[in-house]
Amino acid sequence: MAIFDISCETKEGERFIVEMQNGKQEFFKDRSLYYTSFPIQNQAKKDSKKDDFVWNYELNNVYFVAIMNFRFDEKNAVKKVKHHIVLKDLEDNTIFNTKLQFIYLEMPNFEKTIDELETHYEKWLFLLKNLPALKSIPPQLNDDIFMKVFAKSNVLGYLEGELNEYRSSLKTYTDYMNSINTAEKTGQKVGRIEGVKEVALNLIEEGLGNEFIQKVTKLSFEEIEEIRKENM
């Protein structure tokens, strides 16, 4: 019913949805609500014999965690990294229910260097933001859990069939189109054309063919080939 980057369940029945989003999307918060509706509804229990609900509506916690390579509001001078959202009463600010929680991480707002890291949480943020650029393992991240991350990032990958299926999925298409539309509406300085070319370059770097890139960006084959040559 929906496609997540990661969807898992703990032994206690708590559900976690983790999204890693590179391009800004106009309705990303709405998308979060949409995705969390499924693990909530799926907790409904039926009596297989009577084919009817036999459930008191008690829910296990559902968490949506978004690791975002963009800011919600570029104009906001406050560079807040984490937004932790629960249902609250607007009048007295008391918590209404904690069964549904949203955690958004604005990674561009995390600017600490490796030598400035103080907590385990900050180390995770640094690793998530900088893992692709790290050429060696910093001594500050020489913990067992981080060693597992480095090991998996080096040896794990998609099988060829799985990768092709993922690349051609509806999620890939809608994500990039949503990013383009958002860039156009918000009037980014580079303009829509440059934004489209940047999307094309991202798809090229992922190894996608010209036909798929043309479908997403509406660029001509000649323009796509030119982008390939410029970035070889």
Give residue 141's identity as a one-letter amino acid code: L
CA distances from 183 to 5, 24, 187 (A): 23, 8, 6
Give residue 144's identity as a one-letter amino acid code: D
Structure confidence by residue, pLDDT tens digits, 126-151: 999 988 788 778 889 988 888 888 87
Structure confidence by residue, pLDDT tens digits, 52-81: 667 788 999 999 999 998 898 878 888 899
Residue 110's pLDDT is 95
Structure tokens at 168: 């051609």
Report the length, in residues, of the chain. Answer: 232
Residue 184's pLDDT is 61
Whether this model's pTM surpasses 0.75:
no
pLDDT at 154 over 70: no
Over residues 73-101, mean pLDDT? 92
User: How is the chain split among helix, strand and coil, in percent rounded to 5?
Assistant: 45, 20, 35
- Say how far apart CA 124 and CA 129 lie, in whole Å: 9
Structure tokens at 222: 């000649």
Residue 1's pLDDT is 42
Structure tokens at 54: 């036999």
CA distances from 14 to 5, 6, 43, 65, 108 (A): 17, 14, 10, 13, 29
Q: Is 62 exposed, middle or buried (0-12, 13-18, 19+ CB in 10 A)?
A: buried
Q: Which of 67, 105, 110 is nearest to 83 (CA)?
A: 105
Using pLDDT thresholds of 50, 70 and 90, give the confidence band for residue 94: very high
Is residue 119 within a helix (H) or strand (E), and if so which, with residue range?
none
Check residues 136 and 39 and name the one with the higher pLDDT.
Answer: 39
Q: Which of 28, 77, 31, 55 is nearest to 186 (CA)?
A: 28
